[in-house]
């Protein structure tokens, strides 16, 4: 298994696959060329802010190679680094990021409940959506913990706890509170955002991150689900099967055929959102809670929307 190095310098990122000591040497030469370009352009990097993430399981290669910053000092290896507000971890997962946002959302929830005396539905929902839920939504299509029930429940616990404090919710379980408040579970919101992003890719509204599509007169437009080879190591298979480029096509393909098409309306995204919400409101939203049991394996749309699979 090859190593993978990613060096962060302020807003500049260099990424390269490292399979040998020679590759590491070439990567250092790339870094040196960037340092020379900065000096020639009368600019300089802050070497103290350099961070090095190493991906892969070749520990011998990691131990036998190192990289230097613009000042000739060795770049410190870190287990995670923040990029545009998201913690990227060297193990390829987003466990650290999820722990961070859950902690911040929980702290904000506590601040709201301490600061505002009212527990009336309307002001509480406004505060929740603007100050707390927004933290759980940010860039969630990227770090969505699709394959971990424990992490899904950890994130869900923030909304489950806050909604219990709203006036009129006494005696209602979480499923009933979601229906009464007309809220999606946080997991359902994430999967909805993933579907919307695939729609945007299809219509050229955002850059494509590697998703391809096939069109058929009978089944409509379908996103291609990448094949995860069984010959790959288990941890690689897990990372790939839980990645956006694998999960997003699965979710998009669950939609009815009439929705998997090119929208020619003036505002296609708004039209698609209305149609998507009309479908999702008919799909059971049943996050895991003690004492209540679903008829399907999980609350993911992959299991809850079986009636729409073609």
Domain containing 43 equals 3-78
Report yes or no on 90 lying in a domain. no
Give a three-class secondary structure readout of 192-250: HHHHHHHHHHHCCCCCCCCCCEEEECCCEEEECCCCCCCCCCHHHHHHHHCCHHHHHHH
Report the distance separating Cα 263 and Cα 295, nearest Å. Answer: 34
Rounded CA separation 177/119 (Å) = 15
Could you tell me if 69 and 50 are in contact, meaning their C-beta atoms sit under 8 angstroms apart? yes
| Span between the terminal Cα atoms of the chain, in Å | 38
Residue, of 1 and 35, whose pLDDT is higher = 35
Q: Flag whether 84 is in a domain.
A: no
Of 78, 105, 122, which marks where a domain is finished? Answer: 78
CA triplet 250, 253, 256: central angle to 5 degrees?
145
Domain's final residue, options 149, 183, 217 = 183
Instruction: Kindly state whether residue 73 falls inside one of the protein's structural domains.
Output: yes
Number of domains in the chain: 3
183, 213, 236 — which closes off a domain? 183
Whether residue 243 lies inside any domain: the answer is yes
For residues 110 and 169, membership in a common domain is answered with yes
From its phi and psi, is residue 235 left (phi > 0), alpha (psi between -120 and 50) or beta? alpha
CA distance 291 to 228: 36
Look at the block and give the residue holding tokens 């941890």. Answer: 235
Verify that 232 and 299 share a domain, yes or no. yes
pTM strictly above 0.75: yes
Please tell me whether residues 294 and 200 are part of one structural domain: yes
pLDDT for res 47? 86
Instruction: Tell whether the model's pLDDT for residue 105 goes beyond 50.
Output: yes
In a domain, 67, yes or no: yes
Give per-residue pLDDT as tens, 85-101. 888 888 888 999 999 99
Same domain, 178 and 207: no
One domain, residues 139 and 239: no
Six-digit token pair at 126? Answer: 């406004």
Q: What is the average per-residue pLDDT within 23-41?
A: 89
What is the C-alpha separation between 160 and 132, in angstroms, rounded? 12
Taking 70 as the threshold, does the pLDDT of residue 14 lie above it?
no
Same domain for 99 and 157, yes or no, is yes
Q: Quick one: 145 and 60 in the same domain? A: no
Same domain, 207 and 304: yes
Instruction: Calculate the average pLDDT of the chain.
Output: 88
pLDDT at 81: 86
Asked whether residue 197 falls in the same domain as residue 284, the answer is: yes
Q: Where are the beta strands (DSSP E) in the chain?
A: 3-9, 12-18, 51-55, 80-83, 86-89, 213-216, 220-223
What's the whole-number mean pLDDT along residues 71-96? 87
Q: Are residues 114 and 35 in the same domain?
A: no
3-state helix vs strand vs coil in the chain, percent to 5: 50, 10, 40
Does 47 reside within a domain? yes
Tokens of residue 57, six digits: 């399981």
User: How do residues 109-124 score in pLDDT, each as one tens digit?
Assistant: 999 999 999 999 999 9
Helix then strand count (H, E) for the chain reads 13, 7
Report whether 2 contacts 58 (CB < 8 A).
yes
Any domain includes 121: yes
Q: Which helix (H) or strand (E) holds 264?
A: none
- Asked whether the predicted pLDDT for residue 7 surpasses 80, the reply is no
Residue 163 token pair: 């909604």
Residue 85 lies in a domain: no
pLDDT-based confidence at residue 6 (cuts at 50, 70, 90) = low
pLDDT category of residue 283 using cuts at 50, 70 and 90: very high
Both 136 and 163 in a single domain?
yes
Report the alpha-carbon distance of residue 168 to residue 117 in Å, rounded. Answer: 15
Q: Are residues 127 and 200 in the same domain?
A: no
Confidence of residue 16 (pLDDT cuts 50, 70, 90): low
Window from 6-15, 30-39, 212-221, 259-268 with minimum mean pLDDT: 6-15
């Amino acid at each position: 298994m090859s190593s993978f190095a990613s060096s962060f310098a302020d807003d500049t990122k260099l990424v390269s696959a490292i399979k040998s000591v020679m590759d590491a040497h070439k990567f250092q030469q790339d870094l040196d060329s960037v340092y020379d370009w900065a000096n020639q352009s009368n600019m300089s990097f802050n070497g103290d802010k350099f961070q090095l993430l190493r991906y892969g399981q070749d520990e011998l290669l990691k131990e036998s190679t190192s990289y230097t910053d613009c000042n000739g000092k060795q770049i410190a290896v870190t287990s995670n680094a923040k990029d545009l507000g998201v913690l990227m971890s060297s193990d390829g997962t987003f466990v650290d990021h999820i722990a961070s946002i859950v902690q911040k959302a929980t702290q904000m929830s506590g601040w709201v409940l301490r600061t505002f005396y009212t527990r009336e539905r309307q002001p509480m929902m406004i505060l929740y959506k603007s100050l707390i839920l927004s933290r759980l939504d940010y860039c969630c299509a990227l770090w969505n913990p699709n394959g971990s029930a424990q992490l899904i429940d950890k994130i869900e616990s923030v909304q489950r706890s806050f909604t219990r404090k709203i006036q009129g919710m006494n005696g209602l379980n979480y499923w009933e509170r979601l229906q009464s408040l007309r809220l999606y579970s946080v997991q359902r919101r994430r999967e909805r955002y993933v579907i919307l992003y695939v729609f945007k890719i299809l219509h050229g509204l955002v850059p494509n991150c590697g998703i391809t599509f096939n069109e058929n007169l009978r089944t409509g437009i379908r996103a291609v689900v990448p094949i995860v080879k069984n010959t790959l190591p288990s941890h690689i298979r897990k990372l790939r099967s839980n990645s956006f480029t694998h999960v997003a096509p699965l979710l998009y393909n669950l939609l009815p055929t009439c929705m998997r098409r090119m929208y020619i309306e003036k505002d296609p995204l708004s039209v698609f959102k209305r149609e998507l919400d009309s479908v999702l409101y008919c799909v059971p939203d049943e996050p895991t809670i003690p004492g209540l049991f679903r008829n399907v394996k999980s609350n993911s749309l992959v299991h809850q929307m079986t009636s729409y699979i073609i």
